[in-house]
Amino acid sequence: MLRKSFFALALAVAVTCVLLGPDARAGDGAEPVILTVTGNVEKPNRGPLDPFEDAVFSHMDIKFEKGFTFTLSELKALPQRTVKVRYPDWPREVSATGPAISEVLKVASAEGKKILVQAIDGYAPEFTAEDIARDKMILALSADGKALGLGGRGPLWLLGPTDSFAGQEGDGGLAWSVVRIDVQ
């Protein structure tokens, strides 16, 4: 029960930061981080996991020594790509926009053979470097002209067409509410 309460509190704090948007500033005047890239990051902009400050990661028993973080504004500043997708069990086509995951990893100077994309609920599909090199997947920031928020699929939704990665079946492997990418 305590773990569920802690997770709910951490999720509420994250939702508040996202809903308040760019004007919700941290004490140091910085915008909140919404994505952390960990693992093989050549030029990190943050240090190791802090169990208190990184409460959600700590709760999920994630550990890292270095990382590269992105705010919403930083992700919006990257080249944006739009993909139109409709999977068989979806009621309609979705037009989503955001940076290519390959571009996010390039900016983070992160390379590896295995790329894990983790959602806030712990779901974490794994991809190969070859999957990423196909350059079809985006981290959507908006869908059908509307910003993505928590409680839906945002603030980041890993999305791509039906041939985005090897072995893809339906929309399996797509992840919403993405908070971390781990590169090994």
Percent above pLDDT 70 for the chain: 79
For the chain, the straight-line distance linking the first and the last C-alpha, in angstroms and rounded, comes to 33
Query: Each residue of 141-163: b (16+ CB within 10 Å) or e?
Result: bbbeeeebebeebbbbbbbbeee
Is the distance from CB of 33 to CB of 72 less than 8 angstroms?
Answer: no
Beta bridge partners of 118: 180
How many domains is the chain partitioned into structurally?
1
Please report, for the domain that includes residue 93, its CATH number. 3.90.420.10
User: Hey, which of 15-19, 24-28, 53-57, 158-162 has the most confident mean pLDDT?
Assistant: 53-57
| Model confidence pLDDT, tens digit, residues 81-121 | 999 988 888 899 999 999 999 999 999 999 999 999 999 99
pLDDT at 161: 78
Percent above pLDDT 90 for the chain: 66
Confidence of residue 23 (pLDDT cuts 50, 70, 90): very low
180: nearest Cα among 101, 82, 106: 101
pLDDT at 27: 42
- Distance between CA 44 and CA 182 in Å, rounded? 13
Longest dimension (CA), the chain: 46
| Model confidence pLDDT, tens digit, residues 117-142 | 999 999 999 999 998 988 889 999 99
Beta strand 33-39 with 178-183 is parallel
- Distance between CA 30 and CA 100 in Å, rounded? 24
| Model confidence pLDDT, tens digit, residues 144-183 | 999 999 899 999 999 987 777 766 665 566 889 999 999 9
What domain range includes position 101? 2-183
